[in-house]
Amino acid sequence: MRRNRDFAAPVAAQRRPVRFDMIHQHVILSAIVPVVLLLLFGVAAVIGSRAAKLSPIVGYLALGIGLSSSGVMLLSDRGSVEILAELGVVFLLFDIGLHFSLGHIRHQAGDIFGFGPVQVLAGTLGLGAAAALFGIPLMPALLIGATLALSSTAVVARLIAERHQQNCPVGLTATAILIFQDVAAIFLLIIASALGSGEALLPAMGLALAKAAAAFGIAVLLARVVVRPLFWLVAFTRNEEVFTAMALLIALAAGWATGVAGLSLTLGAFLGGVIVAETPYAAVIQSEIKPFRGLLVGFFFISVGMSLDVGTLIRFWPAVIGIAVLLLAVKILTNAAASLAFRWSVPGSTQLGFLIAQGSEFAFVIFSLPPVRRLIGEQQCSVLIAAVALTLAVTPSLAEAGRRLAGSMRRRAARLADPELQPRGEDAPVFIAGMGRVGRTLADSLREFGIGYTAIERDNTRLREAVADGYEVVFGDFADPRIWEPIALHGRRIGILTAPSFEVAREVFPIGDARYPGLRRIAVVHSHEDAERFREIGAYPVIDRSIPPGLDVAAQVLSELNVDSERIGDWLRRLQERALGGPMPVAAE
């Protein structure tokens, strides 16, 4: 008997881990199922929206409303979705900051600190007056007007990116206004929170302003002293995961820092993007965070749908629709008026007015604060929240209608060269992959004739040398299609591969053909055999045997950009004389 017990003991001991593993696996599977279902519903919502020719935003909102009204919670609690939604907005602002270096902010200062305040003031007065007409007292009416005057960064920034308008005046100005609004929302939250606490407003607002200025100063210092050298070190690892980790670290750490300081997480995320924008690594960081941003912003819109009171929507749907229509109409008029005050054309003012006519995600926060609900009324705040959500849902269609109306106005006026349609400060039709000797010669030729370019370099040593010598170059590998959108390849006419790999080109060219059919691709080669191989996969080969290297391809590119042939010849002759140390002989006629 004892022997049997001794034998049975190890068997039981062996069985316990198996049972534990089964329980552990069951727990993991139970946790995965809600996430899989939520992703499945999200994909279905996007596909359904596209099939109905609507924006995915509408599908996400409808999904959130459906989940809320059905009582089904796919995640453990609503707080999980709200956390993911907040992270989505954080990464969205971080991405916006990547497009706003300090030089860009200085260039856009008139829009941020001029156009932005005028737009918010006009919207506040217009919407506040509309609220007062419905019998709301002056103070609550102005609070409603100021809250509704803000626009949605999440919605507008996504539309601008989808339309590739980041470098056009409409996109630049709208983004600058949104940046000012995000800062103004901080002070509006302070005012709204202080309504029921009796706290003095002016000291609180002054402290917030001082904190925001300090945060900006720290961001500038970190960009120059810490982040740039740190990225040099990271680039030497040649590890994509490290870049992803750095992007996550900077976005979350900057948001956390401003949140702890009593400011918004979004302001910190934006400043984090500005920090990275000061380095040549902004494009590769943007490509790394894009998947996180898109997925998490989707959670934001789902959370908006889940936050809506379905009962209020059903009982007061005429009021919700009426207020949404009134909100859009007033903001279109006030936005257009502010644009006209800054000497925009009527078509441009119309397009901008429609683009930023919706309410803001900050409205959900402000109208949910207890002091605000006591001041305005529980039922009124619920109706306002539902109306703002409705404006978010119709924004993609409304913005497209404004764009078409502006286009119709321009066609009637025969303004074929309207400056508001041209890229501002980004006239760079040429893209250069590789900044070795050929790339530098090509960049020199373009700069000589006043033609803009964007260059990319994957070797960190050549990158540092090119940046130090004043060339416009960013870090990245052209073989990675994720980098193509951050470097705005859609806006280029010619792309030059200065040291192409045929195997890599053969793999990525079909993807490029589908995305950018109008891009002229030039491959610099050194033999007729290579030229024939690249010609077969759709590239225009140039055999470069010039001294210094790159002159042959430079002449080809300048010719395709319609530069006068005599000017090209004179410049090439000067460069060759410089390279050979003496004047070139002139052939007798």
* Burial of 296 per CB tally in 10 Å (0-12, 13-18, 19+): buried
- Measure the CA–CA gap between 299 and 301, rounded to whole angstroms: 5
- In angstroms, the CA 2 to CA 546 distance is 93
- Here the tokens at position 426 are 């980004």
Cα separation, 453 vs 446, in Å, equals 7
- pLDDT tens per residue, the chain (589 residues)? 444 545 444 544 455 555 556 666 666 666 676 667 777 888 888 888 777 777 677 788 888 888 777 765 555 555 666 777 778 778 877 887 887 777 777 777 888 888 889 999 999 999 999 999 988 888 889 999 999 999 988 788 878 877 777 667 888 888 889 888 877 887 787 777 666 555 566 676 677 777 777 887 887 777 777 777 777 777 776 666 777 787 788 888 888 888 777 777 777 888 888 888 878 888 888 877 777 777 777 887 787 777 777 777 788 889 999 999 999 999 999 999 999 988 888 888 899 999 999 998 788 878 877 888 888 888 888 889 889 888 988 888 898 899 888 888 877 765 444 555 554 444 688 989 988 888 988 998 888 888 888 898 888 888 888 887 888 888 888 888 888 878 778 778 898 999 888 888 888 888 888 888 888 899 998 888 888 999 888 888 988 888 778 888 888 889 888 888 888 888 888 877 776 665 544 443 3
The per-residue b/e assignment along 195-205, b for 16 or more CB within 10 angstroms, e otherwise, is beeeeeeeebe
Contact by Cβ (8 Å): 345, 125: no
Model-level pTM?
A: 0.67
Domains of the chain: 70-420 (1.20.1530.20), 430-580 (3.40.50.720)
Residue 498 is classified by DSSP as S
Render 322-382 in DSSP notation, one character per residue.
HHHHHHHHHHHHHHHHHHHHTT--HHHHHHHHHHT-S--THHHHHTTSHHHHHHH-HHHHH
Whether 60 contacts 298, CB under 8 Å: yes
Q: Which strand (E) or helix (H) includes residue 564?
A: none
Determine the Cα angle at 381 with ends 379 and 383, to 5°: 70
How open is the CA angle 473-479-480, to the nearest 5 degrees? 85
